[in-house]
């Protein structure tokens, strides 16, 4: 299925956030103006909407979904900024990941989900997904009662509670402590060779979801971190 790309800037509690849209081209036909589709919000790695992330979004949209991906670092970077898969890009992405407030990440998710559901072709059903930083953000976004399903690829900093600025401000609660707020289904995917989420870290996430009685499926593959990327991947 052909896919059309566009972007909008949506307001957040801090600065405007760019949403990259990937929608089936058939929606441009006036005959399909009333067509309603499910929506998917894609959270990115620390590099923002790179080529691999955009291709990931296109693949989903080509299956008949409305897809949007947000730029999490809008608080710090100009709209449209993409960080390179190199040492400087990685260092900056990791630093910004720690500088941004946890509450700002949550505000972003709320704004993006609201924008997706306001799309004229949205049918009211929304899922979330993401990888690396985005896997964690999808995990937190799944706590929004409007989200029916989540797929989280090797989400970092969940077990270590190291996402976002410290010390925490009032109302900022760690992800595992809040996972009982997840109402939909969630799929957690990890690589057993991933140094960012070691065995004990995966164990704590699994146990936290189990104790909170979350409806989840667990998958571990013999792979390193970032194996879902089709470029600059750490592979299997």
Of the candidates 191, 200, 197, the one whose C-alpha atom is nearest the C-alpha of residue 229 is 191
Catalytic residue among 106, 108, 144, 194: 194
CB 132 within 8 A of CB 228: no
Is 74 labeled as catalytic in the residue annotation?
A: no
SS3 category, 124: strand
* DSSP code per residue over 177-235: HHGGG--SEEEEEEETT-TTS-HHHHHHHHHHHHHTT--EEEEEES--TTTT-SSS---
Catalytic choice (38, 70, 132, 152): 132
Distance CA 70, CA 18 (A): 6
38 is catalytic: no
194: annotated active-site residue:
yes
CB 188 within 8 A of CB 216: yes
The catalytic residue positions are 132, 194, 225
């Amino acid at each position: 299925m052909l896919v059309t790309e566009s972007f909008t800037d949506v307001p957040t509690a801090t600065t405007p956030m760019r949403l990259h849209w990937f929608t089936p081209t058939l929606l441009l036909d006036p005959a399909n103006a009333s067509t309603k589709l499910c929506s998917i919000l894609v959270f990115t790695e620390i590099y923002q909407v790179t080529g691999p992330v955009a291709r990931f979004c296109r693949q989903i949209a080509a299956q008949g979904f409305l897809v949007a991906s947000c730029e999490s670092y809008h608080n710090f970077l100009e709209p449209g900024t993409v960080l390179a898969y190199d040492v400087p890009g990685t260092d900056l992405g990791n630093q910004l990941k720690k500088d941004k407030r946890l509450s700002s990440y949550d505000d972003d998710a709320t704004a993006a989900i609201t924008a997706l559901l306001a799309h004229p072709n949205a049918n009211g059903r929304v899922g979330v997904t993401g990888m690396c930083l985005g896997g964690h953000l999808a995990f937190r976004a799944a706590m929004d009662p409007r989200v029916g399903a989540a797929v989280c690829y090797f989400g970092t900093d969940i077990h270590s509670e190291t996402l976002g600025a410290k010390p925490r401000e009032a109302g900022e609660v760690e992800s595992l402590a809040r996972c009982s707020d997840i109402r939909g289904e969630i799929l957690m995917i990890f690589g057993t060779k991933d140094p960012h989420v070691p065995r004990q870290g995966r164990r704590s996430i699994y146990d936290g979801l189990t104790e909170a009685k979350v409806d989840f499926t667990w998958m571990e593959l013999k792979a390193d971190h970032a194996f879902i990327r089709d470029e600059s991947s750490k592979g299997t």
